[in-house]
Structure 1
Amino acid sequence: MATASWNGTVIAESDDIVIVEGNAYFPREAVRDDVLRPSDTTTFCPWKGTASYYTLEVDGETNPDAVWFYPEPKDAAKEITDRVAFWRGVTVS
């Protein structure tokens, strides 16, 4: 079972993880909805496509753009469809 946590709070748990470029992608449904806030940030990866982001909010503290996902990944990255990954201090264990 993989767990993602930030500031001592578990935000995602799953035993269905996909590793891409060293990042653990969790199924979107494994992430707590109550800690995600939409973000307007996007970035582009040549082989995965355009990434969108969520900001985490836990106990009144925010972690901007700490969660990313590819709404429409390119064919080379289809395995991360409907999955999210974490960074910016989020611990995955």
Structure 2
Amino acid sequence: MIGLPAGDRWSVMLASRAVKELRKLHKDQNALDITWKKIRELSAGQFTPDNHTPITGTTDKIPIYRARLSNDLRIIYQIDLIPDSSSTVYVYPV
């Protein structure tokens, strides 16, 4: 996976397959611009029903989401949460 900073809120990790698909979009600059704009929106936490729809059958274990773009494009993604290495995490017993 390749890590790319795409916004102020969360960094975006792209799988090699996603990078290949983005390279294919270089032929259509408008589609590429739309895709990067949507990735930046998701990175900033701007979730809407159109860009944060859970894919059926994935919500039990690791939810996978679909974002709709124009030109009949889709982004399939998941959100991984890991602690920031620069901050302290406290765990309190319940």
Higher helix content, 1 or 2: 2
Greater relative CO, 1 or 2 (CA 8 Å, sep 6+): 1
TM-score (norm 2): 0.35
Higher strand content, 1 or 2: 1
